[in-house]
Amino acid sequence: MVEWTDSEREYINTIFSTLDYDDIGPKALARCLIVYPWTQRYFGGFGNLYNADAIMANPMIAAHGTKILHGMDRALKNMDDIKNTYATLSELHSEKLHVDPDNFRLLADCLTVVIAGKMTVKEFTPDMQAAWRKFLSVVVSALGRQYH
Amino acid sequence: MLSKKEKELIANVWERLTPVADDIGADALLRMFTTFPGSKSYFSHLDLRPRSPHLKTRGKRIVLAIAEGAKDIDHLAVALAPLQTLHAYRLRIDPSNFKHFSHCMLVTLACYLGDRFTPVMHAAMDKFLSAFAAVLAEKFR
């Protein structure tokens, strides 16, 4: 089981409380598709992904970005059992969506950069970043767990 | 790998950041040491606490080297030759740490530049830092 310190829990809750899901979610997913273009392979049915502008303006990508971020709420609400919270979702990504789990790390990194861009240097401190990365590592690991 | 436009963008950004190289460098280093504590093992001889002058000195040196490389991306190996030798034969840093540092540098840039750190700039910067790290590690084996 993952051990969380009080300050780690506080940092993670602070970040989620500042998030505008409809803004950050779309931006994080769009950024992932632009910075790591091979991730577009999973979005063949999502319309125009021709260039960065098209991706950023794509409403289907935006909606999906928001959905992904809301999906992370479940990890926030079940921080002491993220592994089992995501068991079904992990199976979905493995068996139905066939997503290479290495891609979860790429999206997580883009989400971190988007959040950092919204906060100032003084707000998104190194300690906050470390706690956030730990949280995302647990989420990423849980999502990859049902792959075989 | 990098288009002409991307190279110009990168050179421009690093030139603008050169005056605050110590702040940028110290911030990225502290983020790396906090998020990836294993990376501290290479700096046991330094004071790595926040606001330490060592962080600023070392951070400035790294950022200035990156900025120098950004001026002529097509000939990175020329600019980095002495640093290649240093990292391969003396420092012998595990190359996974270059990835950790690059990620933290991207976070630092996002914090400092905000909306100006667009996805296009992010993509170009990530490619540049990856190329920089690859050239730095060329003499490792």
How close is the nearest chain A Cα to the Cα of B78, in Å? 27
Q: What is the ipTM of this complex?
A: 0.83
Amino acid at B58: R
Q: How far apart are CA A103 and CA A4, in angstroms?
A: 25
Task: Report pTM.
Answer: 0.90
**Quick check: A32 and B123 in contact, CB under 8 A?**
no
How close is the nearest chain A Cα to the Cα of B115, in Å? 6
pLDDT band at A147 (very low <50, low <70, confident <90, very high): confident
CB contact, 8 Å: A40 with chain B? no
- CB pair distance less than 8 Å for B35 and A133: yes
Q: What is the pLDDT of residue A1?
A: 80
All residues of chain B having their beta carbon less than 8 Å from the beta carbon of residue A56 are: 119
Which residue in A has a C-alpha nearest to residue B117's C-alpha?
A117
Burial class (CB in 10 A: 0-12, 13-18, 19+), B1: exposed
All residues of chain B having their beta carbon less than 8 Å from the beta carbon of residue A112 are: 107
Residues A60-70: what's their mean pLDDT?
Answer: 97
Q: Rounding to the nearest 10 degrees, give the CA dihedral for residues B81, B84, B85, B87.
A: 150
CB contact, 8 Å: A114 with chain B? yes
Q: What is the pLDDT of residues B103-133, one digit of tens each?
A: 999 999 999 999 999 999 999 999 999 999 9
pLDDT above 90: residue A133: yes
Q: What is the pLDDT of residues A76-94, one digit of tens each?
A: 999 999 999 999 999 999 8
Of A94, A30, A34, A33, residue with least CA distance to A66: A30
All residues of chain B having their beta carbon less than 8 Å from the beta carbon of residue A55 are: 119
pLDDT above 90: residue B55: yes
